[in-house]
Amino acid sequence: MKKWLENIRRVEPYVPGEQPKDTDVIKLNTNENPYPPAPQVLEAAKSMDMNLLKLYPDPAASKLVDALAEAHGVGSAQIFPGVGSDDVLSMIFLTFFNSDKPVLFPDITYSFYSVWASVYGIPYECPALDSDFRIRAEDYYRENGGVVIANPNAPTSIYEGLDFIEDILRHNEDSVVVVDEAYIDFAGGPSAIELLPEYENLIVVRTFSKSRSMAGLRIGYAVAGEELIRALNDVKYSVNSYTLNKPAIELGAAAVKSTEYYEEITRRVVATRERAAKELAELGFECLPSGTNFLFAKHRTVPGERIFKELRDAGIYVRHFDAPRIDDYLRITVGTDEQMDKLTAFLKKYA
């Protein structure tokens, strides 16, 4: 064995959803929004001065940060932007989880958490979800090096109310608590951002990839107290000063100001989600209660892997996780009404 091979950091990488090269498919596997970005975003894209791409972007992404701060009713010093929420979460793991105590997050949740912990050498433990796939708050009442809760959780799609989040915060005053709200706009309930004035150890993470229809631009951000954001920026500027590019900053700011449009398409996604869940139940599927733009469903008798493969062969892409307790479940992104109709028409063969 070559000596230098001994020094390579080896981790089990995160596996993203498949991006099929064939565009003539129904793509319901990566939780993208089926509707286009807001008209204001498209107009802003047309009017951009492309000559400015020769210059570095604003390292503070001030235009976007100021727009987000105004939208959330916080100070600009309480916003940390990044290249998608994955970049933001990665910086959070690197910045705050720096003790010998294990970071806690559920055994069934966003699988990138364990990857970041492994990459950065962070000890972690994963309390098991209960038999209904819900997080048990009491599992987070013990000493730890930090807590990460996706709310709504993924891939289970279940949303917990603010009382639940506050319970965890009250029992973890000595730890940083991260609430990952990638899907919050589809949940129909309040955001943990409302708790920021009371809990200085809370960080809330958001993304433009879901309800804002901008997965391709990679925009995410955190909202927290100024002390936590300052620490995040210190690490960011020690790793990469220029994270967000100019188009992301400009178009992201335009998206923040397009509230009415995004509220409307979110209502459409939720309406389609509820209709699809009802139709899937009639076809023999069980769906967990969803607060996201996807459904987590399994058939009562047919194995999930078989359905996944047969859907893929038919040009309909959904997500299947080959993992304990959830290997019979499919994660189905909510597409347009037409896309969901084609999905349910195919699934009638299992009824």
Q: What separation in angstroms does the CA of 222 have from each of 15, 99, 105, 208, 225? A: 24, 22, 18, 12, 10
Sign of dihedral through CA atoms 242, 245, 248, 250?
A: positive
What integer is the mean pLDDT of 43-51?
A: 94
Percentage, residues of the chain above pLDDT 90: 92
Residue 84: the pLDDT is 97
Is residue 14 over pLDDT 90?
no
Is residue 110 over pLDDT 90?
yes
**16-36 residue pLDDT tens:** 888 888 778 999 999 999 999
Q: Which range (13-27, 33-47, 197-211, 297-311) has the least confidence? A: 13-27
Is residue 202 over pLDDT 90?
yes
Is residue 1 over pLDDT 70?
no
Is residue 308 over pLDDT 70?
yes
Residue 57: the pLDDT is 96
Dist CA 64 CA 305 (whole Å): 42
Residue 15: pLDDT band with limits 50, 70, 90: confident
**312-323 residue pLDDT tens:** 999 999 999 999
Is residue 195 over pLDDT 80?
yes
Mean pLDDT of the chain: 96
**218-254 residue pLDDT tens:** 999 999 999 999 999 999 999 999 999 999 999 999 9
Is residue 351 over pLDDT 80?
no
CA angle 315, 316, 322 (to 5 degrees): 115
Residue 78: the pLDDT is 98
Question: Do the Cβ atoms of 53 and 267 come closer than 8 Å?
Answer: no
Is residue 103 over pLDDT 90?
yes
Residue 11: the pLDDT is 86
Residue 163: the pLDDT is 98
Total-model pTM: 0.96
Is residue 185 over pLDDT 90?
yes
Residue 108: the pLDDT is 98
What integer is the mean pLDDT of 189-201?
A: 98
Residue 265: pLDDT band with limits 50, 70, 90: very high
Nearest to 156 by CA among 184, 129, 138, 196: 129
